[in-house]
Structure 1
Amino acid sequence: MAVATAVPRAGDSARPMTAGEKKVIMASSLGTVFEWYDFFLYGSLATVIGAQFFSAYPEATRNIFALLAFAAGFIVRPFGALVFGRLGDLVGRKHTFLVTILIMGISTFAVGLLPSYATMNAYGIGWVAPVTLLILRMLQGLALGGEYGGAAVYVAEHAPPGRRGFYTSFIQATATLGLLLSLIIILSTQGYVNSAFPATTITNADGSTSTLTAFQVWGWRIPFIVSVALLAISVWIRLQMNESPAFQKMKAEGTHSKAPLSEAFGQWKNAKWALLALLGLTAGQAVVWYTGQFYALFFLQSILKVDQFTANVMVAWSLIAVTGGFLVCGALSDKVGRKPIILGGCLLAALTYFPLFHMLTANANPALHAAQQNVPVVVKTNTAECSFQFNPVGTAKFTKECDVAKALLARSAVNYTTENQPAGSPTVVSVSGKDFPVADPAFAKSVSAALTEAGYPSASNPTVIKAAHPLDIFTGQKLAVIGVLFILAVYVTMVYGPIAAALVELFPTRIRYTSMSLPYHIGNGWFGGLLPATAFAMVAQTGDIYYGLWYPIVIALFTFVVGLIFIPETKDRDLMA
């Protein structure tokens, strides 16, 4: 694929942004704010939403369905990349990502207005509520599949030569803003609604009663409904934008693609670059990003038993501290190139994840860290009967004795070894030399008590990190945890800050929107999105709470090697060619 080299205009790389360029960046970045606002909103409120729309089922089942609806948004993203990428290359960047922001925003707003299962069931059509929720989630995913590519291409094609990395890095930086905005609105809405309105007692399907806070009953809708303000601002700004110069030039010359999908992926000379973009850039970028922000949060809550509020506060402060790093890495990539920054982030992450997560454990939950070092736990079982407990959407059931034992220990953050037994032998968990058969009806209770007695901390463990309020961070323990999270987030800025510019520059204008969107969303939606479930399955399989880190480490190293060998440096390419 021949691409000409740009000769930067004098002063372009040093002059300040014009008002028009600032408006272009703002218009494009608002979509990213929306994306991560909705992502964190739905993820944080999944159990509340499950109770509203899947109340016909038991609690465990409704939570599974809520997570399935959440996962549906990720699954369809690559298809959205194909649909809207094609439109972007056919009719233009501006009109296409105006459509994506409308679909995305209206779908998010509609979730807040959607009647619950109970409301719809009063009219005999309760099933309409969960089905509509699933449709809205899929529409959001489709729109998101086209949103990022459009934003990245639009900004890059407006940026002056020598500053594309810096300009497009604003899109990445605003992802953090979306996360923080959702966190602030959830916490403030929850606090106000629960203090101002009484709780409600409801009767469950099995005849039992439950007490729900006002936020759980109706207050959860407010964060979705207020998103309409963000939608209105986004649409107003985007309506004032012009088409990108590169697309206008291509249309004027009559060189635009008549069939972007077949040209991008049906011709090996172009398709190979999409494949290399996935394997040599976005796969590693995705796992480093998800490890630094989302798996770190999962690890704090699910493995280290830090409460949700404290974990969110710690991650939020690390993100606030590192936000400017996206712009720094984007600007630096304009000077030294995209490859050294992105691949350097992959390599550093792969080499340091193990010590960093050990430090996270030692500081966030010292008593748990000590128990993991000193309390011997062994699972005695026929290992041939053990399953690999990969369960990304929570629908699989693992009922074998070996699986029950390993899942319990993994959820309890217990380090254990496995001792193979002859076929037909019962599975036994040994804690400090004392055996507990899994077949015993009191197995879970007995093992939990034995672990506590041996040194594993209880739920009221006083050494675990805990924040009383968002500003409660000024102790050595909390600052140490934020410091580790900050380092993990620095790696995120390295791989994510320059990624938009790198992807845009790999492909010619005529198929750029289509070509870059698919590898980005496969990398981030599938490689990154599957990280927590894959890592947990690896932890349960081996009995080592850190073993799941091999997933991002191997992929990051693979991307480093592929990118180093096959990905060209693109920072001086001419996007008008």
Structure 2
Amino acid sequence: MANIAVEGSARARPMTAEEKKVILASSAGTVFEWYDFYLYGSLAAMIGAQFFTPFPEATRNVFALLAFAAGFIVRPFGALVFGMLGDLIGRKYTFLMTIMIMGLSTFLVGMLPSYYSWGIAAPIILIGLRMLQGLALGGEYGGAAVYVAEHAPQGHRGYYTAFIQTTATLGLLLSLVVILSVQGYINGAYPDMPVLDAAGQPTMAADGSPAMQKAFNAWGWRIPFLGSIILLLISLYIRLQMNESPAFKKMKEEGAASKAPLREAFGNWKNGKIALIALLGLTAGQAVVWYSGQFYALFFMQNVIKVDSFSANVFVAWSLILGTYGFIFFGRLSDNIGRKPIILAGCLIAAITYFPVFGFLTKTANPMLAAAQETQVTVTADPADCSFQFNPTGTVKFTNSCDIAKAKLYSLSVNSETVDGPAGEPATIKVGETVIASYDAGKNGADVKAATAALEEAEKGTDQAAKDAAKAALDAVKGVKGTFDKAVAEALTTAGYPIVAKDNTTVAKAEHVLDIFTGQKITIILILTYLIVLVTMVYGPIAAMLVELYPTRIRYSGLSLPYHIGNGWFGGLLPATAFAISAQAGNIYTGLWYAIVVALMTVVVGALFVPGGTHKKDIFADADQ
């Protein structure tokens, strides 16, 4: 590939075909890297069933989410390591390292034996591979943004870096398309398989028959991971054809490179405050809007309003197709009016509209559930009996009667109100006029143990009546949970709640990827597209904005850390955080406050401290600074 002229005075010319090739090649490689990273998020529930088998379902889902979040938590560390390398040895070679680590980690997830084969080593290795993915992604984005921006003509950085911004969404879309295609083929061509327990033995359904699962859930989910090796080879070929960034080459030729980019970027207040302003005034709000619109919307449909996984993926995929051009539109617009007003406007609009939009999504996708939520449901409990059920590790057991009542209702997507009850009394649930007493699982466990001991003692004697009484007592205490669950289900069913999925004929369902042409399904896709448009507002201009905040010598290091703290921590932990907040509050929408508060914080901090007019800056003039 021919060398590209780098003189700053020439940057105002239109981009050449060769430069466009560089940018498209960089974007294509980044799409593949995002594809690798998103596969896990899209298949987290199925992977959790394979690698976190010994835990209860609720705990297993939390662990699966945390394994997903592990990739986000380590991203800032990847930003530090690869950002430093990118400023020291160049953008191109850092690109090659990140794609190798990401591709091989993804392939190995597909190869990794499950808990049934390797025991506790399997989930530990899985989380380790997720952390390697996060490290690689932490170095990927900053390099891609810097590389493209340093090739773009003056006055067109927002437009050209917007192509990099599309790669995250296109990577998600690619992962969904591959998953849907493989899922449809595998489930159609291969028979269902039994669900296994921690010992690798088939489990039984409530009617005594073996519990079954689709072939894709059992083993087919591995195929998209294994297939990523093909994308890795393509990405390596693409990136080996790329030249070094012209601004970096100019800086190296002039001997102006930083010898300690991390210390220079973060070790003094002059540059350190830029990172802090970028985090709180730009990337934190951008992150929560991005993850709310793409990931939490998918999580909300599948886990809260009970749209089946295939249908939810179809609706999100179509919204991504319709909304992705917004990245290019807002990136180009930011070249004319600036980056700051567009990003902050997206955060503000999201904060104002999230509650009505997600409420409308529920009414559209599952109108039976939305109608049932009009029924007053009240939990009456001793305040001392209620715990704050935020459980990020999934290891804490909440056994009080209040906790059990609230967890049960939230698992069924019931909005409830909690009121103070008499001290020392067990919690009760009131649905309409029906009152159901909850139970203390700890006390019930002790009762089961005592009744079991009493039955064993009775079995030693010859009094059949005593044996029958002891057995009846044991059955009674063992049946407390089942009796409670049945009573709650009957009361909610009477109130109109769709407790059994097959009885809910109003929930949106797509039979195939083109089954979207009904009023209900089109409306769902339009709602999701609106959320994607908000994503494009905050994300389209962000790369160019961050590039313009730093000089060439520390640009890779400087922008990577605030970006990945914002997106890795504020954004990546959003689904688990929002879920926990909603479960604690007893309302399926309360978790949205997390995204709203962070977005409003960014509006305030950004309006006060983020500089405007950066779109007019000549970033090539600072190569020797």
TM over 0.5, yes or no? Answer: yes
- 1:445 corresponds, among 486, 493, 504, to 486
**AA matched with 2:38:** F
Residue 512 of structure 2 is matched in structure 1 by 469
Matched, 1:178 2:171: yes
Distance 2:195 2:367 in 1: 40
Partner residue in 1 for 2:532: 489
CA distance in 1, matches of 2:193, 2:413: 35
TM superposition shift of 1:231: 1.2
433 and 32 in structure 1: CA distance in 2 versus 1, 3 angstrom threshold: farther
Identity %: 67
Change (3 A) 1:336 1:227: same
Any stretches of 5+ residues in structure 2 without a counterpart? 1-6, 204-210, 440-479
2:105 is aligned, of 102, 107, 125, to 107
Instruction: Note if 1:424 corresponds to 2:424.
Output: yes
Give 1:15-164 correspondences, 5 Å limit.
15=14, 17-54=15-52, 65-119=63-117, 121=118, 128-164=121-157
Q: In the alignment, residue 366 of structure 2 is paired with which amino acid?
A: N
Q: Would you say the 8 A contact 2:285–2:599 is kept in 1?
A: yes
Question: Using the alignment, how far apart are the partners of 1:154 and 1:471 within structure 2?
Answer: 38
Residue type matched to 1:572 in 2? Answer: K
Match of 2:407 in 1: 407
> Do the aligned partners of residues 522 and 448 (structure 1) sit closer, same or farther apart at CA in structure 2, a change above 3 Å counting?
same
User: Match of 2:448?
Assistant: none
* Aligned residue type for 1:196: A
Return 5+ residue gaps in structure 1 as ranges: 1-5
Matched length: 563
Alignment of 1:557-572 (within 5 A): 557-569=600-612, 570-572=614-616
Contact conserved, 2:293 with 2:535, CA < 8 A, in 1? Answer: yes
Closer, same or farther in 2 for the Cα pair 1:108/1:334, shift >3 Å? same
Matched, 1:574 2:580: no
Aligned to 2:430, what secondary structure does the other structure show?
strand
Which amino acid is 2:490 matched to? A
Q: Which has the larger radius of gyration?
A: 2
The C-alpha deviation readout for 1:470-504, integer Å capped at 9, x for no partner, is 11111111111111111111110000001111111
> What secondary structure sits across from 2:397 in the alignment?
coil
Instruction: Find the residue that maps to 1:435 and give its secondary structure.
Output: strand
- How far apart in 1 are the matches of 2:159 and 2:202? 57
Residues 400 and 58 of structure 1, relative CA distance in 2, 3 Å threshold: closer
User: Normalising by the residue count of structure 2, what TM-score does the alignment of the two structures yield?
Assistant: 0.85
* 1:276 maps to amino acid: I
1:505-544 to structure 2, matched below 5 A, reads: 505-544=548-587
Q: Which amino acid aligns with 1:322?
A: G
TM-score w.r.t. length of structure 1 = 0.92
Moved more, 439-448 or 48-57: 48-57
Matches within 5 A, 1:101-500: 101-119=99-117, 121=118, 128-201=121-194, 204=197, 205=199, 207-209=201-203, 211=212, 213-373=214-374, 375-439=375-439, 440-441=480-481, 442-458=483-499, 459=501, 460-500=503-543
Amino acid at match of 2:271: N
Per-residue CA deviation, residues 278-309 of structure 1 (Å, 9 max, x unaligned), is: 00000000011111111111221222111111
For 1:171 and 1:291, the matched residues in 2 are separated by: 20
Q: Name the CA distance, whole Å, in 2 between partners of 1:8 and 1:425.
A: 79
Contact 2:109 2:225 in 1 (8 A): yes
Aligned to 2:447: none
Q: Distance in 1 between matches of 2:526 and 2:223?
A: 33
> Does the CA contact (< 8 Å) of 2:73 and 2:572 recur in 1?
no
2:595 aligned partner = 552
- Larger mean CA deviation between 463-472 and 66-75 belongs to 66-75
Partner of 2:379, secondary structure, is strand
Give the CA deviation at 1:7.
8.7
* Residues 201 and 368 (structure 1), Cα distance of their counterparts in 2 relative to 1, 3 Å cut: closer
Paired residues of 1:31 and 1:147 also in contact (CA < 8 A)? no
Distance 1:19 1:255, change over 3 A: same
Deviations 1:432-457 (A, max 9, x none): 13211111532222112101101222
**Is the Cα contact below 8 Å between 1:8 and 1:162 reproduced in 2?**
no
Q: CA deviation at 1:333?
A: 0.4
User: Do the aligned partners of 2:258 and 2:553 also contact (CA within 8 Å) in 1?
Assistant: yes
Contact 2:105 2:132 in 1 (8 A): yes
